[in-house]
A and B are shown apart, each in its own frame.
Chain A
Amino acid sequence: MKISPEQVAKVATLARLDLSQATIDQYAQQLGGILDYMDKLAELDTAQVAPMYTPVDHVSVLRDDVVKKDTPREDILKNAPETDGAFFIVPRIV
């Protein structure tokens, strides 16, 4: 099989997803089919070709290093699942 259930499980951990065994097996099969299809690209000789990661040619766009305060704190916290009014509150880390 192109991608084993164990590999799917490993990738799921990286992607912070918890998949059931049934889903893992199903994805392994579906993704295997998709990856087989992607093997077609090996037919093309790209040895001398520079990768194109974006259609836009310009390089990094810079701006002056000036602090701008566009957004009030309360807006930033508006959609927070849990907040004390100053920070986002999350389960304990240490």
Chain B
Amino acid sequence: MAVTAETLEQYFERYKWTYQRLDDTYFRTVFRGDISSFTIQIRIAEDWVYFSIAPFVVTPQDADCERKLYKHLLKLNHEMNMAKFTVDSDGDVILTVELPSENLDYSEFCDALGALAYYADDNYAQVFVLAHVPEAHPRPEQDLDWETG
């Protein structure tokens, strides 16, 4: 059975995060990380539920920043589990988790929010600097293994 807005409300209550239900397909919540606060949008589509921080970082203005940033994001995609970085039509960086809406259970809901929170907090400073400071260089590769709970 595909997940409904009512089911997501129950999951939020159980997860103990405040949220806004904007309509029957769209929720918003906020978490405070170590270095910034992040707004997570949750959208129920026909077959998928999308958990996104959008924008994670706004589009770079410098072409060299763009090249270094994009390569860094693709390398992070290689190291991360469950989540991925993308770029939208405005060039803004998005951090997202997508899960099938069919039978989405509470454990998957928790994992999606947990993964977004973990990767956002762990990567925000570096991604922001690469996007906006031409002299910046990516830090050495690291272990970003995310284990589901």
Are A and B a genuine interacting pair, yes or no?
A: no
| Residues in chain A within 8 A of chain B (CB atoms) | none
B residues within 8 Å of A by Cβ?
Answer: none
